[in-house]
Structure 1
Amino acid sequence: MKRNTVSSRAVSYTVQGAMIAAIYVVLTMVFAPIAFGPIQFRISEALVILPYFTPAAVPGVFVGCLLSNILGSCVVLDVVFGSLATLIGAVCSWLLRKHKLLVCVPPIVSNTLIIPWVLRYGYGAPDLIPWMMLTVGIGEVLAIGGLGNILLFALEKYKHVIFRTQTA
């Protein structure tokens, strides 16, 4: 009986992570015109608040971002470092999960600090790094701080239904 419980939890964790990755990819691809480029607004980045609810969201948003960057024909630097920026933000959000209002801060900061360098050296963007930090930061604040927090508070009421794990 104990083995089935562990197995059920592992399956539940994997399915949740895969669903989050799939939703991230779909949102990125559907809104591709605003999701890629020097000034981006990735609606899918709102999902990086999900580690507040489940650790399965950490690999979920990372894999979703990685696949989105590959499918979006991003340069290798963006595939690697853009995805790592999302992973760093998701891990730190999970670490801050006991502080609901701070969950959105790590992904905003990690993307604001990392993505301008990707834009400069991966895409040859001519803008100054501080300017790109400002523009990327604004997009992240809107996507994560705005949409992400709306999502966080909307899901709060249903977290035990949506993010439950199998126990038997």
Structure 2
Amino acid sequence: MEIFNARRITNIGVMAALYVVATLLCGGLAYGQVQFRVSEMLMLLCFFNKDYIISMTLGCFIANLFSSLGFIDAGFGTAATLLAAILIYVSRNKTNLFVASLFPVITNAFIVAAELKMVLGLPYWVNAAWVALGEFVCVSVLGVIVVSALAKNKGFMKLIMTGSEVKTA
């Protein structure tokens, strides 16, 4: 059984809060048909440490409470984030950071598009394409560039690791 010490709990909380703040700073671009959440690049931290599965899931849930869709978005969006975070972590030894970055693109495209279809009656495949495009730009382009650069910094890696094995990009 793993111990959640003060450092691990702090890291989880800080990253969840960072996700929320970064999402809210995106304003209207963080929600709806076209989603451009720079906070989603934080999803790539799950590639290095499973603790961030909790951070991203909690952060997404809280951020989505501010959506015009409220609890519905908190449910669907959080499910997409949780699934993507788990897939990123589980695949970390079998793939590279770029390939792992595609999990949030795919899960959000399909799950959020279904939510928007059910709630707002918007066309499914159009929504899937728009959500995927936003996720791809934020996670697979910007996120991979930023996180790959940060992963080369030993100080950064020491900061984000909390007793877990270190995985390099």
- Tell me whether the two structures share a fold, i.e. TM-score over 0.5: yes
Percent identity between matched residues is: 26
- In the TM superposition, residue 73 of structure 1 has moved relative to its aligned partner by 4.3
- Answer yes or no: is the 8 Å Cα contact 1:92–1:106 preserved in 2: yes
Pairing 1:109–2:106 present: yes
* Match 2:78 to one of 79, 83, 100: 83
Query: What is the alpha-carbon root mean square deviation over aligned residues?
Result: 1.9
In the alignment, structure 2 segments of 5+ residues that lack a partner are 165-169
* Equivalent position SS for 1:116: helix
In the alignment, structure 1 segments of 5+ residues that lack a partner are 1-5
- Measured in 2, the distance between the counterparts of 1:87 and 1:147 equals 21
- Measured in 1, the distance between the counterparts of 2:157 and 2:130 equals 36
Pairing 1:147–2:142 present: yes
- Measured in 1, the distance between the counterparts of 2:42 and 2:157 equals 17
1:19-72 CA deviation, whole Å, 9 max, x = no partner? 110110010111112111211111111111111121111010000000001133
Aligned to 1:134: 129
Pairing 1:60–2:55 present: yes
- In the TM superposition, residue 166 of structure 1 has moved relative to its aligned partner by 6.0
TM-score, normalising length: structure 2: 0.85
Q: Say how many residue pairs are matched.
A: 159
Q: Partner amino acid for 1:120?
A: K
Aligned to 1:156: 151
TM-score, normalising length: structure 1: 0.86
- Bigger Rg over Cα: 1
